[in-house]
Amino acid sequence: MNYLFIALGFFILGFILTFSRRLSYLAALAGSVYVFIAGVTSLNIPQVSAAYYLLPHISIGLNIDRTTSLFFIVSSISFAALSFYSFDFGRLFSRKMGLFFNLALFGMVLVMSAADSIVFIIGWELMTIALTFQILERRNTMTEAFQFLAFGEASTMFLLLGFAALYFTNNSFSLINISHASTLFLVLTTLGFIIKMDIFPFHTWIIGAYSKAPSHTAAMLSAPLTLMGVYGLVRVISISGSTKWWGIAVLVLGAVSAFWGAMFSSAERSVKKLPAYSTVENNGMILTALGLSAIASFYSANKGVETLADFAFLAALFIAFSHTIAKTLLFISVGHAKEALQKEDIDLVRGIWRNVGKLPAFGILTSGLSFSAFPPTIGFVGEWMILEALFQSYKFMNNVDRIIAAFAGIMVALAIGLATFAMVKLIGYTALGPDHGEKAHKFPSSAMKISEIFLILLLFIGGIFSPYLIQLLGYGKFLSGLLAVPDPLLIVSAQPIFGVLSPTMLTVVIIFLIIIPLLFFVFGKKKVRKVDAWNGALPLSEEEYYTVPAYSFTLEYILRSVFRMKEKREGYITEVQNKDIAEYIYEFIGKTIDKISTAIGRIIMNGRISLYILYIFILFLLVFLFI
């Protein structure tokens, strides 16, 4: 617990040291390290702080149990990488950024360690407000920051109502050591958390906020912030227990969200909106896995399904971890390139490898590979797990459950395929694509590069040594050995064995297969003649490069009714426009509220002061009576 207090102390120090950017981010880094230490040291020894009484019956406190420890470890990796990255990147913004940065981390750590709903809500609000101000650090971002705040407050509202329901059931605000909760609590808090997880249809704010926000803020919005949503759901399930209907509801919502996010990311043309939609996809997969786990719990007494609930839950954790690391890496690498080239469109951020640097290019490449489930990255292991879990849904006793799980499986499989399509686009154009010949803007980036290396290594280490990670998470029952694969290097998806994977051995094979051709290449006769790709006998001119919208046009055209695709043309100006259906919902809500408020405004504010005073009086009475 002391490590947690030290971490929080460092974050507070970070607010104070705002006058010096470096010191402020250094405090954030130190705090992140202590969060990690707090997580590791509390893995097997739950710790609870003293209770601090606000009122005679209302106390607040902190708690680090196993769930908190696991989320501490994962989120602290992202915190640390972002803090160190900000040593250089933070120079591009005002000193206030350090304050908001530390405040956001402080809020997130409070959320994860809250022993009661009061601390939880305080942490929740702190991180929301701090991130809103971080978005505002860029010019002309008022709309996007406001959208983020609106969704954030909607989330808070549901959580407040949910916690109120919990209070009525238990007569306590405590989130630990209770196991009774009403359905209302489960529904309301689930809504509150999935809003934070950018689940369809609550994801529309990401389109503007991720692209306009500074890259380290976008990384924070995408990785640790959505992880808080996952944490919240896990915590809620631990309180109320999972039920089958809840499982089915979140399974469907998650699967649709995964498909939706992957589909729109495959059509995105902005270097930051593409990863934004990828976040919707990944969180959709996490939700699917949690839903499947809940359904499987219902059948856990049946033969062959005993371990599915745990395996699906493990899949959710793995995807959450891989997403946090890979998405942080992707955003900081993309941000590095974006700042160097001062461009936003994927088409214009081409040639990062040659023009900006090998590390940001490699960062985009490896994170993209992880999202494409490329072995031996951690993303590969996570996505194998969710598919393996979904494959086992045929063991459910009820046909309706089987069909629903099969539907989710199809959606998730499509999502994984589309995500690969999107990532190939991002990697192909930005990291490895031919550059425009434009000079990249030079700025100090040593810390940024170190952060990138750190996360690149983690992506591979996490994947290669994933059996040990599973052991650390406490799911040793899914580890085994078989033939030449020693125990515990084989991951098994069920007991008795259903499917197996050994990322460690797979890596050995891959290395072996690479080393032999590499030796031939290095020591063989180098009779390699390099020529440009054949382009009809002429070099490509700048206007002849295959553009990003062209890459996905066929997909958009085939799914044009889903994309709401329109081919617009005015004279010689033409383009393809898509619109997310969810945006129509909010436009409708916005217009309806606008109409109602206009109508009410006309009745009340019609120049008659007596009517206006009456309105204020009635409102005052209502507030007085009910609040």
Partner 1 sequence: MSEQLNITALNNDVISSSNKNPERLLGIFNTAGESKCILFDGKNFIIDCHDKVKSYPIYDIIKNRNSVIGKSEFFGEGVFVFRYGPVTSWLVEPGVFHIYTYGERILGMNIDVSYKSRNIEQRLLGLNPTEAIPLVENICGNFSFSHSLAFTNSIENILGIELNPIIKSYKIIGLELERIYNHLYVFSQLANAAAQKVLTSQIQFLFEESLRTNFIFSQFRYLKKLNNIGKLNFYPDKKTLNTIKERLNKLDSVLKNLYERTLDSKNFLDRLHATSIISPEYALQNSLSGPTLRACGIKEDLRQHDKFYEDLNIPTISFGDSLARLEVRVEEIFESIKIINDKIDFVDKVKGLVPFEEPNVPFENITGSSIGAVESPSGIIADYVELENGKIKNIYISTPSLFGFNAIKDSLPGMIFTDFPFSVDSFGSFFADAAR
533 binds partner 1 (CB under 8 A): no
Binding span for partner 1 by CB under 8 A among 181-189, 416-424, 542-550, 584-592: 542-550
Smallest distance from partner 1 to CB 577, Å: 9
438 binds partner 1 (CB under 8 A): no
| CA proximity to 51, closest of 129, 1, 125, 116 | 116
Which residues have CB under 8 Å from 436's CB, separation 6+? Answer: 348, 350, 351, 542
Instruction: Please name the amino acid found at residue 452.
Output: E
SS3 487: strand
Query: What is the biggest distance separating any 2 CA atoms in the chain, rounded to whole angstroms?
Result: 96
Give the DSSP letter string of 71-97: HHHHHHHHHHHHHHHHHHHGGGS-THH
The residue written with tokens 């390139």 in the block is 337
Q: Which is nearer to partner 1, 443 or 546 (CB)?
A: 546
534 binds partner 1 (CB under 8 A): yes
Indicate the burial class of 122 (C-beta count within 10 angstroms; 0-12, 13-18, 19 or more). Answer: middle
Q: Which residue from 512, 523, 572, 624 is in contact with partner 1, where contact means CB under 8 A? A: 572
Our CA angle for 424, 429, 434, nearest 5°, is: 135
Instruction: Please name the amino acid found at residue 450.
Output: I
The secondary structure of residue 60, as a DSSP letter, is E
Token pair for residue 233? Answer: 């759901």
The site map against partner 1 for 252-271 (x = CB under 8 A) is -----------------x--
Q: Which is nearer to partner 1, 79 or 551 (CB)?
A: 551
**Cα 462 → chain centroid:** 17
- Residues that bind partner 1 (rule: CB under 8 A) add up to a total of 29
SS3 576: strand
436 binds partner 1 (CB under 8 A): no
561 binds partner 1 (CB under 8 A): no
Q: Which is nearer to partner 1, 530 or 568 (CB)?
A: 568
Smallest distance from partner 1 to CB 568, Å: 8
| CA proximity to 241, closest of 311, 301, 179 | 179
Q: Which residue from 438, 575, 583, 587 is in contact with partner 1, where contact means CB under 8 A? A: 575
Smallest distance from partner 1 to CB 566, Å: 12
| CA proximity to 173, closest of 237, 119, 132, 235 | 119
Token pair for residue 190? Answer: 């689930």
573 binds partner 1 (CB under 8 A): yes
Q: Which residue from 183, 398, 535, 592 is in contact with partner 1, where contact means CB under 8 A? A: 535
579 binds partner 1 (CB under 8 A): no
Please answer whether residues 400 and 247 qualify as being in contact, where contact means their C-beta atoms are separated by less than 8 angstroms. Answer: no
Q: Which is nearer to partner 1, 550 or 596 (CB)?
A: 550
347 binds partner 1 (CB under 8 A): yes
Q: Which residue from 85, 93, 299, 551 is in contact with partner 1, where contact means CB under 8 A? A: 551
553 binds partner 1 (CB under 8 A): yes
Q: Which residue from 179, 446, 554, 606 is in contact with partner 1, where contact means CB under 8 A? A: 554
Binding span for partner 1 by CB under 8 A among 23-31, 175-183, 335-343, 547-555: 547-555
The site map against partner 1 for 449-488 (x = CB under 8 A) is ----------------------------------------
Give the DSSP letter string of 194-252: HHHTT-TTS-THHHHHHHHS-HHHHHHIIIIIHHHHHHHHHHHHHHH---HHHHHHHHH
Please answer whether residues 149 and 161 qualify as being in contact, where contact means their C-beta atoms are separated by less than 8 angstroms. Answer: no
557 binds partner 1 (CB under 8 A): yes
Q: Which residue from 493, 548, 563, 578 is in contact with partner 1, where contact means CB under 8 A? A: 548
* Gap between the Cα atoms of 315 and 607, Å rounded: 62
Q: Which residue from 468, 498, 545, 586 is in contact with partner 1, where contact means CB under 8 A? A: 545
Residues that bind partner 1 (CB under 8 A): 269, 347, 534-538, 540-541, 543-554, 556-557, 567, 572-576
